[in-house]
Amino acid sequence: MVQAGSIPIVETVAAPAPAARGRLHSAMRRRSMVGFIMALPLIALIAGLVVYPAVYAIYLSLLDKSMTRFVGWHNFVFLLNRATFQMVVFQSVLFAISAVVAKAFIGFVLAHLMHAIPSRRQRFYRGLLLIPWVIPLALSTLGWWWLFDPTYSALNWLLNRLGLPSVSWLGEPGWARFCMILVNTWWGEPFFMIMYLAALKSVPEQLFEAAAIDGATGLQKLRYVTLPMMRNVISLTVLFSLIVTFANFDIVRILTNGGPLNTTHIFATYAFQVGIQSGNIPLGAAVSLFMLPVLAIAAVFVLRGVTRRSQEAM
């Protein structure tokens, strides 16, 4: 028997088969079902490695230190009242925003410079500029640490050679924060560069030609042609980088371990110190979850904007 609502072709093919088999067959014919089945391994992977840990972290953050009693929002309220945690929030925001702005700016400039290089030589320079991004971050940060090392700093050696005094790169709060941002920018800027370069290459050349005919200056071309065409890529890269930078751990852990005077701690390093080292896993979970709502809301708005602009362009 044929199910009501099934399309004629299914009726013809499924007619001799038993009812259950027919239903399965018809379901499999639906594109959405096939798509779902194909995506199932990935969905399972995300559920197991992202959703479950995230939900478990939320659950942990609502427990007391011994993890035996439900305390609701107590850990979050407690953290908000601590001066050290307030400093961690400030530093995380400073670190993430400064680094992302610097990466976006440098990446944008580099992408334009790269775009102007003829394609044969461009490949070489593109590979060269990608090196910081492909080296494991922990290793490259160790390299930076040797440059900043208190006793044997190569940078200080250079400064001394020039007759300048040594700088306490990782011992002074201001310099230490600067070093964190510098290393993160150095590491993450190639990602922006490559994304912006790809976006630039997809801008139709006719638009620039039309703008040139209209007498647009370089700056006007940038403002009225390039930027609008790259808006989606810029939004997505900034959002992605913001999330990754807020979650950074390696750089601070290797360079300063949060010091001096806790002035370089960010969410991940402070969460590790409180949760793993000091044995208060629920409080550590609360620290690490602190930016989740802010970033989630930002992600919703950015992605909505991207979808809207994509639909307008279609």
Partner 1 sequence: MGSVRRITRRKALRLAAATGALPLVHIRTSHAAGRLSVGFWDHWVPQGNEVMAKQIATWAEKNKVEVDFDRITSSGNKLLVTIAAEDQARTGHDVLSFPTWEVQNHHAKLEPVDDVVGRLEAKYGALDPFYQYLGKVDGHWMAVPASSGSQYKGPCARLDLFREHCGIDLPAMYPARAEHTALSDTWTFETFLKAAAASKKIGKPFGIGLGTTADSVDTSGSIFASFGAQLVDAKGAITVKSDATRAVLEYMKRLVPELPQDVYSFDDAIDNRMLIGDQTTLIYNPPSAWAVALRDAPKVAAQCWSFPTPAGPAGRFVPMNIFQFGVWSFSRNKTAGKELIEYLMQREQVQQRCDVVYGFDIPPFDSMLDFDIWDKAGPPPGTLYNYPLRPFHKANRWITGLPAPPQIAVQIYNQALTCNLIAKVTQGGLPIEKAIAWAENELEGYLG
Contact residues toward partner 1 (CB under 8 A) are 65-66, 78, 82-84, 149-152, 166, 168-172, 176, 256-262, 272-281
305-97-306 Cα angle (round to 5)? 10
Compare residues 12 and 66 and give the one whose CB is closer to partner 1: 66
Compare residues 163 and 215 and give the one whose CB is closer to partner 1: 163
- 260: which DSSP letter? S
Compare residues 82 and 304 and give the one whose CB is closer to partner 1: 82
At position 226, the amino acid (one-letter code) is T
Minimum CB separation from partner 1 for residue 39, in Å?
Answer: 29
Q: Two tokens at 21?
A: 């088999």
What is the C-alpha separation between 103 and 243, in angstroms, rounded?
14
Minimum CB separation from partner 1 for residue 153, in Å?
Answer: 8
Q: What are phi and psi of 58, to 5 degrees?
A: -65, -45
Minimum CB separation from partner 1 for residue 246, in Å?
Answer: 21
Rg of the chain over Cα atoms, rounded to whole angstroms, equals 26
Buried residues in 281-292 as b, exposed as e (16+ CB within 10 A): bbbbbbbbbbbe
Minimum CB separation from partner 1 for residue 66, in Å?
Answer: 7
Q: What are phi and psi of 308, to 5 degrees?
A: -60, -45
Minimum CB separation from partner 1 for residue 245, in Å?
Answer: 21
Compare residues 34 and 58 and give the one whose CB is closer to partner 1: 58
Compare residues 125 and 146 and give the one whose CB is closer to partner 1: 146
